[in-house]
């Protein structure tokens, strides 16, 4: 009888541990899916309460110039108004390059990469600045290059997605390798959205909240 009781207790203990491990694993995965990770320990130095973006002539003079401007404005608005409640971000277009936190360029170059947008980080002003990385320093502004010719010109959603993705990097968000419903989903995987999802929204709040 004692052997039976001991065996029953052992089985119950194993089941309890397994249940706890499963619950912990599920919680961890959910947490990872619900928050887009940051690129490094640093961030946009002035915060995201007033992010100004400047659209350069390389966008304006592109054959799709007016469409690209609309998509850039739409992408900025999609970050400000994600539909998932409060975040501290506010963005508006500036016509003064030297007051910008994000300078947006267009390129007709075809590069040997899946990346359709590239972001570089700078500390200082457009007149006098030093290039940095999110692993080493806060940054004052970013330069974003949109490789227009690498997009299907008839697919405005994917174009807007690339712009919104680049904006996310400007705020310090990293590629999201685990969630196709994140606008920060990396370009090597299928992405199902063209504007920020809840995990992107939560990422902003995690860094700047």
Quote the Cα angle for 138-144-146, to 5°: 160
pTM metric for this prediction: 0.83
Per-residue model confidence as pLDDT tens digits over 117-139: 999 999 997 678 999 999 999 99
Quote the Cα angle for 70-44-208, to 5°: 95
Q: How far apart are CA 118 and CA 101, in angstroms?
A: 15
Quote the Cα angle for 103-75-152, to 5°: 90
Centre a 10 Å sphere on the Cβ of residue 27 and count the other Cβ atoms it contains.
10
Per-residue model confidence as pLDDT tens digits over 6-60: 434 443 343 333 332 323 233 333 444 579 999 999 999 999 999 999 999 999 9
């Amino acid at each position: 009888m004692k052997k039976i009781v001991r065996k029953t207790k052992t089985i119950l203990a194993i089941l309890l541990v397994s249940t706890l491990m499963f619950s912990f694993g599920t919680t961890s995965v959910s947490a990872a899916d619900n928050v887009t990770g940051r690129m490094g320990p640093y961030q946009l130095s002035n915060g995201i309460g007033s992010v100004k973006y400047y659209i350069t002539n390389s966008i304006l003079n592109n054959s799709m110039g007016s469409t690209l401007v609309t998509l850039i404005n739409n992408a900025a608005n999609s970050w400000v108004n994600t539909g998932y409640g409060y975040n501290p971000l506010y963005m508006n277009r500036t016509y003064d390059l030297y007051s910008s936190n994000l300078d947006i360029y267009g390129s007709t170059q075809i590069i040997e990469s899946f990346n359709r947008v590239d972001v570089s980080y700078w500390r200082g002003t457009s007149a006098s600045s030093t290039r940095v990385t999110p692993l080493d320093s806060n940054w004052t502004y970013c330069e974003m290059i949109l490789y227009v010719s690498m997009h299907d010109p008839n697919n405005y959603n994917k174009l807007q997605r690339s712009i919104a993705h680049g904006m996310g990097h400007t705020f310090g968000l990293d590629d999201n390798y685990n969630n196709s419903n994140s606008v920060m989903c990396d370009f090597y995987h299928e992405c199902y959205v063209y504007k920020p999802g809840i995990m992107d929204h939560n990422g902003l709040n995690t860094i700047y909240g």
